[in-house]
Structure 1
Amino acid sequence: YRYSGRWSAAGRGRDLRLFILAIGGVATLVHPVSVFVAILTVALLTSAIVLRRIWISWNYSRRPNPLMGTTLKAVIFDFDGTITDTMPFLSGLAVNLMTENYAISNEEAGRRYLETTGADFGSQIEEIFPQHPRNRGVVATMEASKTRGILGHPLFDEVVPTLMFFKDRNIKRFICSSTQEAIIRQYVSKAGIDDLLDGCFGYRPGFTKGQ
């Protein structure tokens, strides 16, 4: 759901608070205490908005069905780090490949990998090391290692109950990932959750995550 209303909606009241600070700054020409009054007013306004949102969220979460009244038709889940805890494995594998094949430290490799996470690994490597002659071989090694490693990771405990929750409410469920689609399909079949999903989409030539 979204916060609504003049004071609770995201982004509302920001201009007013900036205006109050500006007035407080100008008013220091009359008395220095004006800055304190302006800051105190902004703090009270901000705290009131936060408390209002907390109350709305708490009240909403106590309903028998938190999704009641929404027009939710489908839920799309990421795969790595959402369905299964593969991110440490993938990060470690990527860092090792980068440090072995390029002039880059472990720290820098880890940082650059995480910064570009979300794209397929081929796009990540091309962004980090543009047109490097080793890119193709590194990507091929990564994909082969991913296939062997990902299939051995268990589901998060919350995955099946969550998928069942949405299925019972006739809300469609999908997985969309930058990992190769063939690997995703193998995994969901091996994990026994293919009947809880309406579709799985992953990277394949000509079809990236954003599509």
Structure 2
Amino acid sequence: MSATSAAIPKFGSVHPASLRPALSTMQEPKVLLCDLDGTLIDSMPTLAELATDVMGDVYGTPRVLARELYVATCGLPFIRQLESIFPGDARNRGASDLFEGRKPDRCDQIRMAPDVERALSEIRARGIAIVVSSNNGVQNVATFARNAGFGFDLALGFGGGMAKGKPHIDRAAVEFGVERSQMLFVGDSLHDGEIAETERVPFVGVAGTFSFERFTMRFPHLPVIRRFGDLPGLIFGGWSQATASEDAPLSSRLAVGNG
């Protein structure tokens, strides 16, 4: 079955005036929701390679196309990515199980970069609760949190009725007694931004998996940083678009739309 165009995110027309720098400061949140893959850890190249292997083995998808389709739909659980790319294909469940079964061996040893750890520590020092919100499997997220060397206040994954988006946001609201406006969600995918838009939660995009330009085309009025380490400066002040780090993470190698 051929991949469908529905798998590719949609973009509206963007006027040049809309591509202005993000705000230099923002309201300080009480809870920070962090996506995992591509945001807290630089696992996207590994996951893209694994997904490419699986789509090639199961569906015979050419490697270049498989990689593009995986990245274009990232942010969803892999089974939902497959349903978007190959709608109704009876092989989807088996392909998803294959992907999830191989994932721990490839990803369990990936750790947060030092600048990510420093940023989290700085944010935590201001009394902000820090939550992992990922569509990676519940067990994988628990393993990451256990081995991370950082005390996350809550670690949420996909499974058991939980998923990134409303279920995780509702859980955080109850756990910490906060409103959506008092949260901040940070993620590396366009899907993450769409979740925040739907759930009316403030959002910061992290360029890398998707280019800075593609993020700002899709969300021209939201802040986008080039690396997670820039986040404390954005939240607490002293950050500007012009002085943001130009050093993108390794995942920028697979960015869609990068020149």
Short-chain TM bin: 0.5 to 0.7
1:209 pairs with 2:167: no
Tell me what 1:172 maps to.
129
Q: Measure how far apart 1:130 and its partner are.
A: 1.7
Q: CA RMSD in A?
A: 2.3
Match status 1:92 vs 2:49: yes
Q: Please, what TM-score do these two structures have when normalized by structure 1?
A: 0.65
Pick aligned residue for 2:155 from 200, 206, 211: 200
Q: Any gaps of 5 or more consecutive residues in structure 2? A: 1-14, 168-259
Establish whether residue 152 from structure 1 lines up as the match of residue 97 from structure 2.
Answer: no
For residues 69-80 of structure 1, what are the structure 2 equivalents within 5 Å?
Answer: 70-80=27-37
1:139 aligns with 2:96: yes
CA distance in structure 1 between the aligned counterparts of 2:122 and 2:107, rounded to whole angstroms: 25
**2:143 counterpart residue number:** 186
Cα distance in 2 between the residues matched to 1:168 and 1:148? 33
User: Within 2, Cα distance between the matches of 1:103 and 1:140?
Assistant: 17
Shift of 1:191: 2.2
**Normalising to structure 2: TM-score of the pair?**
0.53
Query: Distance between the aligned counterparts of 1:144 and 1:103, measured in 2?
Result: 20
Structure 1 position 131, deviation (Å): 2.1
The structure with the larger Rg is: 1
DSSP-derived class of the 1:124 partner:
helix
Q: Secondary structure at the match of 1:158?
A: helix
Which string of whole-angstrom CA distances, capped at 9 and with x for unpartnered residues, describes residues 140-189 of structure 1? 11111112221111211212211111111101111111101211111121
Identity %: 28
- Structure 2 letter corresponding to 1:135: N
The residue identity in structure 2 corresponding to 1:145 is R
Q: In the aligned structure 1, how far is the partner of 2:154 from the partner of 2:115?
A: 19
- Taking the aligned partners of 1:173 and 1:191, their CA distance within structure 2 comes to 13
Distance of 1:128 and 1:158 partners within structure 2:
35
Whichever residue aligns with residue 103 of structure 1, its letter is G
In the alignment, what sits opposite 2:188?
none
Query: Mapping of 1:46-57 within 5 angstroms?
Result: 57=24
Structure 1 stretches (4+) deviating beyond 4 angstroms? none
Question: 1:104 corresponds to which residue?
Answer: 61
CA deviations on 1:69-91 (whole Å, 9 max, x unpaired) are x3421111110011111100100
For the residues of structure 2 that align with 1:171 and 1:207, how far apart are their CA atoms?
A: 23
Across the two proteins, how many residue pairs are aligned to each other?
Answer: 151
2:77 is the counterpart of 1:120: yes
